[in-house]
Structure 1
Amino acid sequence: MSTSKMQVKIISDECIKPSSPTPQHLRTHKLSLLDQFIPSIYVPMILFFNPSSSIHPININITTPMRSQLLKQSLSETLTHFHPLAGRIRDSLSIDCNDERARYIEAEVDSNLSQFLNHPDLSFISQFLPGEASWHEAAPGAHVAMMQITNFACGGFVLGAFVSHMVVDGTALSAFFKAWAAATFRYIATPNTPHYIYTKGKFDAPSLFPQNDAYPREATMMALYYRFLKVGNCVTRRIVFDAPALATLKRKAASSTVPNPTRVEVVTALIWKHIMAAFNLKTERNIVQNRSTTLITHAVNLRRRAVPPFSEYTMGNFLSMAAALSQCSTEDNYQKEDNLAHVDDDRDHELGRLAKHVREAISKLDGDFVQSLQGDGTRGLTKFCEPFKEIRETLSRTSADAADGQSLDCIGFSSWCNFGLYEVDFGWGKPSWVSCVGGKRGADEPVYMNMVVLMDTRSGDGVEAWIYLDEQDIAILEHDPHFLAFVSLNPSPLSVAIKTP
């Protein structure tokens, strides 16, 4: 069945209350210093559970209505230990944990989930979310968390979630899913069935990184990115790197400085390199500039960089931003006919150079940096603002160079790898696919930013990259043979064999 014939029908829209009331002393959740940086947009995440690829014998006879009741019952229990998710946004600095409940939508589709997964339509995926993905910030009084369960005729289901970025980042949202799944699994597992250890959310970030009223609102992520928001036709492409392709890229990008590049570093470097070439080729065709400079930013999870590391169940935003700058000149554009003679060594050198930039930028956010953010006073605020101050200074310098024929572009990278989302098991098998949001933005909001989201593949040894670019840039990228040699374009998440270079 094509998605043109597939319809998502909403059958219920209710709110789930925590099974126990939130204690009075926890009724107001103050944001941490790191949370203050984040705008009140929603983090979208979508998990597909296909019964044909994984099913537990212990629950094979559980019907969809029974499953629905179990999911709501376990969500109520889980919200007790993740109390801000059952509240409302009070203002830009706090959450009202008033137990007014998380929004919970149920929907149904009269088809088999495997039919969709065999040929995933990225423009249809937003139908599995409880709202429209948007750059607009949520207003005071808005729900912190919204869930949608979409049941398919085959018995499969899709979990789509919106949770305010004010209180969770990707790691925190993944932790919430794991806790919810563990609570559900306990209801249906036999005594001898291995299952998750139920873990409560830790909301101690405000004490680790105290809120600071002097925080400059102009330093928030959205304020920083506003200059790079574009109006036009943004399109989405999902590309997949399998394990052999990543091994080849690591070998090509290895250098004396970075002898062992990671999969995130090499994928970032390759995408950065070829998007720069696309930007440069487009400006040449339009006879606007002869060189383009590209700034990339990478969201960095500070939990793993702290000494000792913070728990993955530590809720909130433990994020900072790494940034690197590179210039692509006309001589670097391998897509031009007169440059096709460039040897592979040159391309490998460029890939290694960009991987080095990524490593150097991220390595600045080390354990000492995390330690410097903690404690009262202005020291943490000053230290936290340093990376963004450097970015703004870089922007100012490159803007001054605009008169010399340079243009400045930005690509925002975010890695969702190693979140453990493919281990989330509510009792009906692990996800067949975990996806980002695909398709175009709403018709009334033709605003977008050049973005790349990196995710694990189901096998765990590959990388999915979701690329959001102007349609002209995407068209150039899709016809770049040196780029396509390493990727597969939107393959089925259920497929076993993925193209290798």
Structure 2
Amino acid sequence: MEVQIISKEYIKPSSPTPPNLKTHRLSLLDQFASFGYVPVVFFYPMNQSISHAVADIVSQISHSLKQSLSETLTRFYPFAGKIKDRLSVDCNDEGVFYLEACVNCHLVECLSQPNIPSLQKFLPRESWKDPTEGDHVTMIQVTRFACGGIAIGVLVSHMIADGISLSIFLKGWAATARKACEVVCPNFDAPSIFIQNDAYSREAVVMAFSKPFKLGRCIVRRIVFDASAIASLKAKASSSSVQNPTRVEAVSALLWKCIMTAFKATSGIQRPTYITHAVNLRPRADPQFTESSMGNILWSTCALCTAEEIDLPCMVSKLREARVKINIADFVKNIQGDGGFSKLWELVKARTGAVSSMAFSCGVDYIGFTSWCNIGVYDIDFGWGKPMWVSQVGTIEDSETMFRNRIYLMDTRSGDGIEAWVLLDAKDMIMLAQDNELLAFASLDRSPTE
């Protein structure tokens, strides 16, 4: 599969950003976000009911995407800027770095058995880790297939956006493109609520937060759970403690259990396994934040499973307990204002200290979960229908600077299944792929067209 770049340009906001908004300071929670960009690729088939020539349709789509993006950036003005330093974005209206490309195959051929490393070709920058001063906040690549299908690859700096923020931006862009009545209006109030503290290095904060996770080359595989399998899994995972697990809880617990088994098979030792699971704070705060609140409005819960506790209902209970034992409303209130950083920093130090002590005494493995389920990525319609597939992309497999033992959960196109992108060391992945309990509920690397 060869992707050829046709054009490069900058899409600027249709109206200039007011002078008082030229610098966007990160929020306290943004300080704890990981480096790099949030990647996603949307694949759209050609609308077969359209009788126009493919070239004409592609031209119309190109014009519509650029014009609507320009209009959208007036509301999402930090997305059109550049990274100023470790704590702020220069909202200079230089625009989104925007590429147009073409590929010498049909969309169905690409998706029949997608090659994960090749998905990087649909992103506007193949080496998209660790942005530095002067880098664009947002980069987009629109690739057309020989059949007229479209892939839209997006990178947004994690400094200012989590997965939900990225979804909000894309929904706003899509609504403008299809000339919808509703207008998505983002809320950038988080930095005035969660006050950043520039006395601490952002790099040090991120390093403390990500300390448990190992860097190195890893293998990425997609593990797909359909609705019927999840229903059976939820029944198996239920208990008196959690009578009706969510699909995310059930899938997370099974992956946790099976990966622990893989770790034991490759190391010969069953160590305790510590997991984190990202939690969206927007609906759990009191009062709630609006759905369109931008930034990294999330935190991670944590749970530990020992060798004696490897049991699916028990692990689901641990996931539920980890989420409910933190009073989210109080947590959000405590980290607001000028004193928020010290309270948050103490929490991080206590967590990492406990884990480091455990690792020193008996050894411990780590798994980090992030869920993009229920954020509506399959609802993003630019005017020619919903996507056939949404790819989280995951990682560059030959990179030595990737975090291993990471799992990204996505909705399937039907909305009731889950597609898990799993990043593990090669030997651990080999063992996981042979786990009969996992294979009883899931399929590996299934075609998105099925």
Alignment correspondent of 1:310: 289
Q: What is the 5 A alignment of 1:481-500?
A: 481-495=436-450
- Give, in whole Å, the separation in 2 of the partners of 1:16 and 1:473: 43
- Stretch deviating more after TM superposition (101-110 or 195-204): 195-204
Q: TM-score, normalised by structure 1?
A: 0.85
Q: Deviations over 1:186-238 (max 9, x none)?
A: 1xxxxxxxx4611122111112212223456476344432453233x411110
The yes-or-no answer on 1:357 pairing with 2:318 is: yes
Instruction: Tell me how far 1:165 sits from its aligned partner.
Output: 0.5
1:251 is matched with which residue: 220, 227, 235? 235
Write the letter of the residue equivalent to 1:164: S
Instruction: Tell me how far 1:175 sits from its aligned partner.
Output: 0.5
- Give, in whole Å, the separation in 2 of the partners of 1:324 and 1:196: 44
- Give, in whole Å, the separation in 1 of the partners of 2:356 and 2:59: 58
Alignment correspondent of 1:145: 138
Write the letter of the residue equivalent to 1:128: F
The yes-or-no answer on 1:425 pairing with 2:386 is: no
The yes-or-no answer on 1:396 pairing with 2:356 is: yes
Seq. identity, %: 49
The yes-or-no answer on 1:173 pairing with 2:128 is: no
Q: TM-score, normalised by structure 2?
A: 0.94
The yes-or-no answer on 1:156 pairing with 2:149 is: yes
The yes-or-no answer on 1:299 pairing with 2:278 is: yes
Write the letter of the residue equivalent to 1:462: G
Query: 1:245 aligns to what SS in structure 2?
Result: helix
Indicate how the Cα distance of structure 1 residues 112 and 382 shifts in structure 2: closer, same or farther if over 3 A, else same.
same
- Give, in whole Å, the separation in 2 of the partners of 1:395 and 1:327: 13
- Structure 1: which 5+ residue stretches go unaligned? 1-5, 187-194, 285-289, 333-346, 496-501
Alignment correspondent of 1:322: 301
2:366 is matched with which residue: 410, 414, 433? 410
Whether the aligned pair in 1 keeps the contact of 2:262 and 2:428 (CA below 8 Å) is yes
Q: What is the 5 A alignment of 1:6-85?
A: 6-51=1-46, 63-85=57-79
The yes-or-no answer on 1:117 pairing with 2:117 is: no
Aligned residues: 449
Alignment correspondent of 1:238: 222
Q: Deviations over 1:107-155 (max 9, x none)?
A: 1012210121222222211111111255x42111110000000111111
Alignment correspondent of 1:372: 334
- Give, in whole Å, the separation in 2 of the partners of 1:352 and 1:385: 33
Indicate how the Cα distance of structure 1 residues 436 and 222 shifts in structure 2: closer, same or farther if over 3 A, else same.
farther
Instruction: Tell me how far 1:171 sits from its aligned partner.
Output: 0.3
Alignment correspondent of 1:499: none
Write the letter of the residue equivalent to 2:137: V
Question: Which is greater in Rg?
Answer: 1
- Structure 2: which 5+ residue stretches go unaligned? none
Indicate how the Cα distance of structure 1 residues 55 and 257 shifts in structure 2: closer, same or farther if over 3 A, else same.
farther
Indicate how the Cα distance of structure 1 residues 16 and 218 shifts in structure 2: closer, same or farther if over 3 A, else same.
closer
1:441 is matched with which residue: 397, 415, 439? 397
Q: Deviations over 1:456-479 (max 9, x none)?
A: 000000100000001111110111
Indicate how the Cα distance of structure 1 residues 62 and 260 shifts in structure 2: closer, same or farther if over 3 A, else same.
farther
Write the letter of the residue equivalent to 1:243: A
Instruction: Tell me how far 1:384 sits from its aligned partner.
Output: 2.7
Query: 2:292 aligns to what SS in structure 1?
Result: coil
Indicate how the Cα distance of structure 1 residues 366 and 102 shifts in structure 2: closer, same or farther if over 3 A, else same.
same
